[in-house]
Amino acid sequence: MANVTVIGAQWGDEGKGKIVDWLASRADAVVRFQGGHNAGHTLVIDGNVFKLSLLPSGIVSGTMSMIGNGVVLDPWALRDEVTKLEGQGVRISDDNLAVADNCPLILPLHRDLDGLRETAAGTGKIGTTGRGIGPAYEDKVGRRAIRVCDLAHLDDLDSQLDRLCAHHDALRAGFDQPPVDREALLAELREIAPFVMRFAQPVWKRLKKVRKAGAKILFEGAQGVLLDVDHGTYPFVTSSNTVSGTAAAGSGLGPNATGFVLGIVKAYTTRVGSGPFPTELNDEIGQGIGERGHEFGTVTGRQRRVGWFDAVIVRQTCSISGVTGIAFTKIDVLDGLETVKICTGYRLNGNVLDYLPSHAGDQAAVEPIYEEMDGWSESTVGARSYADLPANAIKYIQRVQELIECPVSLVSTSPERDDTILMRDPFED
């Protein structure tokens, strides 16, 4: 049986939560390998809505769920999310949730710095969620992070706090803010430590045992490849690598364990926050798609920008992440449109490009080249076999496959878990 790695192949918000939940019900373990609680996944199961930010989507189905070392962990956000899900009837214990003991922590000082920077940036804002993700990753690579394992050794934290506070106090002074209150920070850590340490363990070791037993592992990514700090629309990106290759480093298993790479792709394109968006629609069509698709961020509540499907960027992200097959979501949102468009290339300074250039100015300046197709009036909602789809919807999917040079493995026709058309089983590949 193949393991499966799930990544977003656009700017995030592609519907990964539903697909991961659907796959998790057939997996033995699910592991998050990057990002933090800036990620938002919405699951709809038998009419019940579950909103996740930090926990792996498999937790709702009872699948063994793990938070890998590549994640930056806000321990208070973790407690809030666990409490909320338990209130919805989801059972969570150290039997079905594990947190890597080498995860870096997001601290209140990280949230402070995130907000101070974004406020001061003016027109240079990049649209962060303000949850401290970026500053926490900075401290990780700066070798001054406090990690989950440190919560068991809070009396020996002086030297680490010296390094951490020396850095942050200087930054805070630049924003006319007082130094970090070390005693208050330690008090907060002492209060949250028992909760987090219930779940802390060497996740890499747990995964090794699971893999040795022949179990099926699902690697769950957050955000999308176009938000990757190296390969995305820099600087309007997240602070981690969101490509499939990160699954190995962010979980503690080698690259030969990550298996089938499933790229989640929305039938149109959306993004939240600032940054280039070649196919963005600022008209009634875009507004209508956004309303039908309920395009509001799970975490931030911000309205998502909406545009036509961009085959150029998806072909690019599939190549960069080695995508084996895609899951095509939200095709039902396009029901009723007389015409649908697909971006097949860009024009820039009189030249035609078949890729998105790296420079932010060039990305903002490209003009999309469109191919038009007839839409469909029939409903695709709830279809569970390919034969149930309208003929023009099938033509649309087939054309997308051709343009992105990657086959469709799954088609999602509603937010409900079971409204999924399986064309190629990732776990059996």
The span from the CA of 378 to the CA of 172, in Å, is 57
Place of tokens 């569970």: 384
Q: Starting at the earlier edge strand, list the strands of the sheet with 97-100.
A: 200-201, 97-100, 64-67, 29-32, 217-220, 4-8, 260-266, 325-329, 408-412, 420-422
Q: Cβ distance 360 to 234 under 8 Å?
A: yes
**Tokens coding 172:** 């805070």
The span from the CA of 3 to the CA of 26, in Å, is 11
The half-sphere exposure of 45 on its side-chain side, counting CA atoms within 13 A, is 22
Distance of CA 198 to the CA centre of its chain: 26
DSSP per residue over 57-77, as a string?
Answer: GGGTTT-EEEE-TTB-B-HHH
Known active-site residue 41: yes
In 3D space, the residue among 348, 342, 357, 349 whose CA is nearest the CA of residue 392 turns out to be 342
Place of tokens 């992070």: 145
Place of tokens 């820039």: 348
Known active-site residue 359: no
Distance of CA 413 to the CA centre of its chain: 20
The H or E element containing residue 31 is: strand 29-32
Distance of CA 119 to the CA centre of its chain: 24
- Of 21, 28, 37, 41, the catalytic one is 41
**Tokens coding 315:** 């072909």
Q: Cβ distance 378 to 297 under 8 Å?
A: no
Longest pairwise C-alpha distance within the chain: 67
In sequence order, the β-bridge partners of residue 201 are 100
Plot region of 382 (φ>0 → left; ψ -120 to 50 → alpha; else → beta): left
**What's at 349, amino acid-wise?**
N
Q: Cβ distance 10 to 269 under 8 Å?
A: yes
Render the burial of 386-411: b for 16+ CB within 10 Å, e for the rest: eeebbebbeebbebbbebbebebbbb
Q: Show which residues are catalytic.
A: 13, 41
